[in-house]
Chain A
Amino acid sequence: MSSTSTEARLLSVSKLKIAFGSLVVIQDLSFEARAGDCLAVIGPNGSGKTVLLKALMNLIPYEGEIRWSHGARLGYVPQKIAADRQLPLHLRDLLEAKATFLKLPGAELEQVSSEVGLTRELLNTSIGHLSGGQFQKALIAFALLGQPNVLLFDEPTASLDELTEERVYELLHSLQKDKGMTVILVSHDLSVVYRYANMVLCLSKGKPCMGPPKEILTPAMLEGLYAAPPKYYRHIEDHLKG
């Protein structure tokens, strides 16, 4: 689906099929990604976006081939709602659990916390008392422990207000720019996809498609993908004209 050169290829997915019993979620999906890409995965609910991320991390069974280039280290930021916030855990407890499990040097936790703007006070706060934006930053810090060079984000700003959402995406963008990370991003927000992604993979019940945002985020493509004119189309069209 993509004409990626062999040297820069980071990820190669070939004839991927994912099914739960008789329910086939993804079928015959092939694509590639290069180091430094920001690849956005879009598609309607149930099209398999989260399932694809889990398969890329080898968390669920699949058929076909997923091949990461040598040296790829993955960090994962799940949907905010997928974590239990009622636990007796301070943010530091959580980050220390990962750092200890991976036998990371003690300084890395402080360094990552400072990179994403987590203060000492926030580190000593119960995860249940963090605001939505702070919790999302915490999940990003968690993903950054272990120095990954690929970040997989699953709806990183779902249920956040617009201002917080903006800050989270700015953080992601600066991480990608400063550290040269590859980002694979699942998002429903097409304006965000247009701003930050250089490649878009759209999943749907029909034939999946992949290309630069300007080729994929067209009215015709989006209408075909979501089987209805997207409400945010006007916003994107304005953006394209501007």
Chain B
Amino acid sequence: MPEGQGFLFLLALFFALAAGLVGCFALMKRMVLASDVISHLALPGLGVAFLLKMNPLVGGATTLFLGTILVWRLQKKTGLATDAAIGVVFAAGLAIGAAVTPREDLIEALFGELQQVSLLGFLLGFATTLFVVLSVFFLKDRLALSVFSQDLAAATGVKVGRVDLYFLLLFSLTILVGLRFMGTLLASALIILPAATARHLTDKLSHFLLVSSAVSLVSVVAGFLLNIFVLRLSTVGPTIVIFSALLFGLSLIKKRT
């Protein structure tokens, strides 16, 4: 492990755990494509932060959460499907992001960068992922009921609209932690791929959550090792995603046998 990247590696592991869990419910809510798009909403904020020489994560977080709230409002007010609502916000967000991000910072914003993480940055990231993981477990039953049938969940007493909003915010928090080393283009990949892999391997909820988290953690460890010893890229995102995609491919073989 290169010097000073220990915190980054640990943070990546916490991110992997949160992404594995959040991904399960994103897949069950049929918002896998939408999740890919939500992560791109950070780009305009990153671009503005680069321009103003601010901490990029502050800018990314601002547009990510504003975009998330906007998506939620669009869904509620217009009755658009999640994918359609997010698509509208995404197109505008990506265009603004590409226009304002300085050319020399664009690659970092899109694909992330291997960089040192301060103790404060690490602690904030750790607290965020811990909050996401605990929240997913707290909301697990409400989420399961609402993805099964919104009417049944509402009739049971679940505040379905509120649960949808909480979930979108947890989703955005997870993306935010991953932005630093995965970038806006790849941060959502670790939410999508492990859950899709786990879905091929199990149809029981507790196993689904467990397998998805494990696949996500293995992908991060393998991605870091692959990058340190073989590819030596300036960002670790691509190797993590490649390994995760490989595991997904293996899950397809396993399912057929």
Contact = CB atoms under 8 A, between A and B. Distances in A.
Nearest to B199: A88
A76 B151 contact: yes
B202 interface: yes
A76 B158 CA distance: 14
A141 to B, nearest CB: 12
B141 A100 contact: yes
A101 B203 contact: no
A101 B155 contact: no
A165 interface: no
Interface string B182-198: 00000000000000001
Given A101-B141, A101-B145, A101-B158, A54 B151 contact: yes
A133 interface: no
Nearest to B160: A59
A87 interface: yes
Interface of B is mostly: helix
Contacts of B148: 83-84, 87, 89, 94, 97, 127
B152 interface: yes
Contacts of B255: none
Contact of B156 (A89, A101, A128): A101
Interface in B186-221: 198-199, 202-206, 208
A76 B199 CA distance: 29
Contacts of A127: 148
Contacts of A89: 144, 148, 203-205
Contacts of A101: 141-142, 145, 156-158
A59 B152 contact: no
Contact of B157 (A78, A84, A100, A102): A102
A221 interface: no
B204 A74 contact: no
A93 B149 contact: no
B58 interface: no
Interface of B: 24, 28, 140-142, 144-145, 147-149, 151-152, 154-158, 198-199, 202-206, 208
30 contacts: A57-B155, A59-B151, A74-B155, A76-B152, A78-B151, A82-B149, A82-B151, A83-B149, A83-B152, A84-B148, A87-B28, A87-B147, A88-B28, A89-B203, A89-B204, A89-B205, A94-B144, A94-B145, A97-B141, A97-B145, A98-B145, A100-B141, A101-B145, A101-B156, A101-B158, A102-B157, A126-B203, A127-B148, A128-B203, A142-B152
Given A84-B148, A97-B144, 5 more contacts: A59-B154, A94-B144, A94-B148, A97-B148, A98-B141
